[in-house]
Each structure stands twice: as C-alpha cells, then as structure tokens.
Amino acid sequence: MRISLGENAKMALDTLRENKLRSFLTVLGVVIGITALITVSSILVGFYADISVYLNDYGANTVWVFKVAPGINTGRMTAEQRNRKPLTYEDAQAIREQCPAVQEVSVSVLKRVYDFNRPPVITARYKDKEVSGLNYSGSDVNYPDVYNTRPYIGRYFTEAEDLHRADVAVIGYDLGKTFFPDGDALDKIISVEGFPYRVIGVFEHRKGQLFQNPPAEKQVLVPYFTYRKHHPADDEHFIGAVAAPGKMAEAKDEISAVLRRTRHVPYSAPENFGLSSAEEIANQFKQITGSVAMLTAVVSSIGLLVGGVGVMNIMLMSVTQRTREIGVRKAIGARRRDVIWQFLTEAVVLTGAGGVIGVLLGIGISLLIHVFLPRLPSAIPLWAVLLAVIVSMTVGLFFGIYPAVKAARLDPVDALRYE
C-alpha cells in the first residue's frame, strides 16, 4: 500500500509539472481561500495576544469600577447611564474598609463622561509645544500599586503632597517624549487646562504594540485633592481594586454588595454601577475576534468551494483524456481501488499544493504587515498552518471522489477501444 501511494503521488507530481498553468488555475480558489485564512488568523491571533498583554500589564487581579461597566462594548451611553449618580471618594473608602477579599484600592477623579466615543478635549502646553486629547485626572497614592505602573524617571507624589494639594504631576511616557525629548523632564512646569504643574515623574511605557498611544501614554496624573482644588465641579470617580490571589469572584461580590449599600440600591433593582476586569475585557475581544474568524472562514470556504469544483472539473477531464491508460491498467490487473487511489491521490496532491502556496502567500503577507505596519500585531499560529494544509487536502479528497469512482467503473474493453 505504501509503495502504491508513493507511486501515485509521484505520478500526480509529474502531472502537476507537465501542466503547471492548468494546475495553478485549477487550485486558484484554494490558494485564495487559504491565503485569506492564514492572513486573517495571523492578525487576529497577534491582535488578541497584544490585547491580553496590554490588559494584564495593568494587573490580572484588578477590578475596575465605574458608573457603567468599563469595556470595549461601552460605546455611547444610554440616557439612564448618563444620568446615573457618579461614584464617590467615600465609595472607595467603603470598599477599602469593608471588603476582606480586596488588598488595595485606588480612586481617581476626572471630568464627567457622557460619551466614551467623544471624551472631553484636554490640552497641555510646555513652552511652544501643545498636546491635545490628554487623559487628565487626579488620583491617590495607591495608584501605582493598583495599576502596576511606576515612573521610570523621577518619582510618584506622596501622601503629604496630596493632602497639601501640591501642584505636582506625573506624566505619561509619550507626553514626556513629546515635551522633553532629551529626557530632562523633572521640575519643568507644564500647563494643563490653564493650571501650572511641576513635573516630578514620567511613567514607564506600557506593554503592547497596538497601543503605542493609549490614554495612559498621554496622561497627566495629579494628586487627588490637588485636582479637586482646581476643578471642584468635576465629580466623576473611577475606582480600581486589587483582589487577593484566587479571590477575584469574592472581591467582585463584596464590592457589589458594598456599593449597593452605599448607593442605596433596592434589593430588587439592577445595579447602577459597573464592574469589569482585564479577563472580562479580554474575553470581549475574544468574542469579537471569534466572530471575525467565523466570517473569514465563510469567505475562505467560498474560495475552497470554487477551487474544489475546479478540481472536480479537471479530474473529470483527466479521466476522459486517460481512458485508454485506465483500460490498460485494468487489463494488466489493476483493481478498482487501485484506480480510485490513483485519482484521489492526484486530486489531494493538487489541492495540497494549492494549500502550501496559500500558506506561503499568507506568511509572506503577514511578514509584510509586520514590516510596513508594525503597530498592527501579527503572529502566525502553527495550528492555522496545519489546519490550512489539512483542509486543502480534504477539499481534494472530497471533490476527487466522483471522478475517481467514475474512472474505476470504466469497463477495460470499452476503455481500450476509446479513441
């Protein structure tokens, strides 16, 4: 059997070499379908891995609390969500004191958020340089521990500076590079919303290629009470809480129970606040990438179907052209299954070659994306390569059955007479 398969494969490869153009045009649909599958798979896998690294960099055990659940599906808030009462500084204190499963809590204050798609435009200036679209907020001294970040230049502000409302700020990595390309940022005075702040630190760069300019990189973080001194009307609060190892579920339940009490939510009423975590947001991304992958699979299937029909057409033509050859083989003792395996092997080799070409093209496109669009992450998963080759060969096996059976059923006497 092994020798027979080897001979059939050799004959199939000889047929491919003799009819290169015809063979390529036959499996063009397979090539297109596999190329699309590999390319999109590499982008989706790289994208999801980049998102996971970026979110986990903030802390896998961190719970984010806001008046609506933070996440990628937030989008435009409903009227009920916009009218919700903001969280308060006292809510954060209650979580810190009444949640045993929570190790640390940080609270930040910022401008009111009415639409996540259109955040308020905040501008910072240093001499003749100006940067818009800042993430400007006030936070307490627990921020570095909760969000797993430290200044790589300078330091974070102290509790004394917070209580005394000192006009100091720690800025994001990209903002530091823009204002101070030489790295000399410490003790420089920047203006944010018309208020002067002395820079005492620059945050380190966050992980993740896709998010080279996320809000954290264009950040101006000042002490909580300093922010309230300059912006007493801003009362939107965002709370971060670090759950004890292995107690994420308990921490969320405790936070929910505390906030329902502090915000006077009736037992039967839905929560008027939202909880989220890195894992939940990553799962949301996974659902989205899964939907895109499903759509890609459908589009690729169309190409594979077209390629399969082309293979069947060519194989039927090949059976007709090689009728006398089939008659001779059967006359000297070839059995039906021998003829079937001959043509099935040829079909599988044909579509398998198309699959290999598609994989190579997909890998090439992925590498070009990595070179010319470095911010768009791409990673070629081994399972996608193996699946692509297997699927392409399966297409040849499926669409080659009918021509192979037709060839095997030819009567040797009639086949020898065929002109």
Q: How far apart are CA 125 and CA 395, in angstroms?
A: 61
Amino acid at 28: L
**Residue that is written with structure tokens 């986990």 in the block:** 56
- What is the SS3 assignment for 85? coil
The pLDDT score that the predictor gives to residue 416 is 63
For 221, phi then psi, to 5°, come to: -115, 125
Structure tokens at 33: 């379908």
How confident is residue 307, by pLDDT bands cut at 50, 70 and 90? confident
In sequence order, the 6+-apart residues with CB closer than 8 A to the CB of 85 are: 67, 263, 272
Is residue 8 helix, strand or coil? helix
User: What would the pLDDT profile of 249-305 be if each residue is shown by its tens digit?
Assistant: 899 999 999 999 998 888 888 888 888 887 787 777 777 777 777 877 777 788 788
Question: How many whole angstroms separate alpha carbon 41 and alpha carbon 172?
Answer: 33
- If phi > 0 it is left, if psi is from -120 to 50 it is alpha, else beta; for residue 115 that is beta
Amino acid at 114: Y
Locate the domains of the chain by residue range: 2-53+284-417, 113-232
pLDDT at residue 214 greater than cutoff 60? no
pLDDT band at 1 (very low <50, low <70, confident <90, very high): very low
Stronger pLDDT, 48 or 364, i.e. the higher one: 364
Separation of alpha carbons 239 and 64, rounded Å: 6
Determine whether 11 is exposed, middle or buried from the number of CB atoms within 10 Å of its CB (0-12, 13-18, 19+).
middle
Question: Which one-letter amino acid corresponds to residue 113?
Answer: V
Taking residues 209-234, report their average pLDDT.
79
Question: How far is it, in rounded angstroms, from Cα 368 to Cα 86?
Answer: 47
Question: Can you tell me the mean pLDDT for 46-72?
Answer: 77
